[in-house]
Amino acid sequence: MNTLKQKVHAYYLQQVDDKIDAFRDMISALTEGASNDAKGSAGDKHETALSMMHLEQEKLNNKLSEFMQQRAVLDKIDPGTTLPKIALGSLVKANDIHLFVSLALPKINIDGIPVIALSPQSPLGSMLMGKEVGDSFEINGTSYTIGQVV
């Protein structure tokens, strides 16, 4: 049986992998389009079109690189490991909110439980790091008490 933490980790891995695949497909299509265009065109319009394609390809490569870095961070997380202190990969329940300390990723629902993924460098993430069950802290006028660390 998968734990909530394993399901959350697997979901985010799948999301990042889907983005990587989509960007690779777009880059491949753009590269193919550029090589096909090079065969049949000449002149200034052709040069402008090629330049635009190269710029677009560069943007897509930058986005792909971003998602590859996200994948690398998620790969460092072992969803089967539970530590007493909050660290990268911890699933924390604080004030009935589930927080996955990993990356700043979209909020998700797993088995009807809302989960917020946050970076350890974020204000809330940095306050969580190193804390244990029972610890309390305040951020932006809101008090948090850690109820569970998985």
Categorize the per-residue pLDDT at 44 as very low, low, confident or very high, splitting at 50, 70 and 90: low
Residue-averaged pLDDT of the chain: 90
Is residue 42's pLDDT more than 60? no
pLDDT score for 54: 84
Is residue 79's pLDDT more than 60? yes
pLDDT score for 38: 54
Q: How many percent of the chain have pLDDT more than 90? A: 75
Which among 66, 68, 142 has a CA at the least distance from the CA of 99?
A: 142
Categorize the per-residue pLDDT at 37 as very low, low, confident or very high, splitting at 50, 70 and 90: low
pLDDT score for 87: 96
Mean pLDDT of 27-43: 69
Range of weakest confidence among 33-37, 80-84, 131-135: 33-37
User: pTM (2 decimals)?
Assistant: 0.85
Is residue 119's pLDDT more than 90? yes
Alpha helix positions (H), the chain? 4-40, 44-75, 123-128
CB burial of residue 108 (10 Å; 0-12, 13-18, 19+): middle
